[in-house]
Amino acid sequence: MNDRIAGPVAPRIRAALEEHWHDVVAVSEFIHAHVEESSNEFACHAHLTTALKQHGFDVDCEIAGLDTAFRATTGPDNATTTVALVCEYDGLPPYGQSCGHNVVAAASYGAALALEPVADELGLRVLVIGTPAEEGIGGKYILGDAGVFDEVDFAASIYPGMDDIAASRTLAAHRLTIEAFGEPAHGAAHPELGINALDGIALGFAAMAMLRPNLPPTARVHGIIDQGGIHPQVVPDYARATVVVRAADPTELADVRIRVMRAFELAVESVGARCLVTPAERCAEALLNVDALTSLFEQELRTVGRSPQPTDEIAGAWSTDAGALSRRVPYLQPQIKMTPRSISPHSHRFHDASIGPDAESCIFDAALALASTAAEVARNPQVRDEIQRQFRSATTGTS
């Protein structure tokens, strides 16, 4: 543990995590075994909130109007520092916990249990925030809008991945619903009387593929056909696709989005169909990293025996609803190595890797580093001030 943390506090943080380690693993295993879709994480929500109550946390459920959100609290009422440890627990059926949200939740839960015995003497208020639907509607948007994180000095969650990276890079993202409207006809008797909406969508995907070599290296475009017709003997008069456009920043995202939308519009119109593109109400923003916070966490990762790597500026980025939240409050979302480079998130193999010895090592080291970081922020007002100064500078341009 880190010698910078006040004498008796450091070993007690580790001792508390070790004492409750069985409970931490049980949380991970339960969420891994109960793969629930976004906004329907009722079993995982109940398991987490029950576990936190058993450890003496005050728990509020259904916060901000979300059935599967919660806030659990421990620590003194007159705390000088408040940390929010964020849990995610939705899955991706049929791909399971293929983003490792069971690991995310267990690491935050473990860090909270490790901090609970020392919270009073550190003047540290510990919140555990359950944020549902990361893969869906984005619970953090709603919780942030509702002010759940307003009194927080910093918030944190980890992501399991291929490397140890303290300052994760994420991409801005925008979801597009693309609809094509044509005319039905008998596919054999009189196809000439139909307008094939599916052909327009398929041609749009080909056009988007042609764009890829000329897009910025940080951009990503990908999607699926949600609906392509009803009967094979009927010329499809309606087809729908969902496309996600990702880029490094809002300016790049806007440019790539326009090019993708235009590609689909021209493709659909070229077969005689009508095209309607509906952007999602909100964009996912890229994560805003605060150097004073990520640097502190990187030191703690080294203390627990890990070897953090520099931020990868091209590969390995994802998108998250934490990006918007990172502009409300300093947000730490590092990547913690759990898998070899041959195993991609959002795959069956990643689901399998999210349980077992490597996953448990990821959870333990992440929880310990998170707890140590929170303890250092609580005991060191200079660190708190520098985190806030850098955050204000990045979000408002003032020091």
Distances (CA, A) of 297 to 127, 156, 162, 293, 365: 18, 10, 18, 6, 11
Q: What is the pLDDT of residue 314?
A: 66
Mean pLDDT, range 120-131, rounded to an integer:
97
Share the mean pLDDT of the chain: 95
Mean pLDDT, range 360-378, rounded to an integer:
98
CA distance 83 to 373: 10
Distances (CA, A) of 323 to 34, 91, 263: 27, 20, 28
Instruction: Assess contact for 351 and 96: CB atoms under 8 A.
Output: yes
Residue 317 Cα to chain centre, angstroms: 11
212-235 tens-digit pLDDT: 999 999 999 999 999 999 999 999
What percentage of the chain carries pLDDT values higher than 90?
A: 94
For residues 216, 166, 70, 356, the Cα torsion angle rounded to the nearest 10 degrees is 100
Using DSSP's 3-state secondary structure scheme, residue 389 falls into helix
Domains of the chain: 9-170+286-396 (3.40.630.10), 172-279 (3.30.70.360)
Q: What is the pLDDT of residue 315?
A: 67
What percentage of the chain carries pLDDT values higher than 70?
A: 97
272-322 tens-digit pLDDT: 999 999 999 999 999 999 999 999 999 999 999 999 999 877 666 889 999
CA distance 395 to 256: 24
136 has a pLDDT exceeding 70: yes
Q: What is the pLDDT of residue 48?
A: 98
Question: Which tokens in the block code for residue 140?
Answer: 């953090």
6 has a pLDDT exceeding 70: no
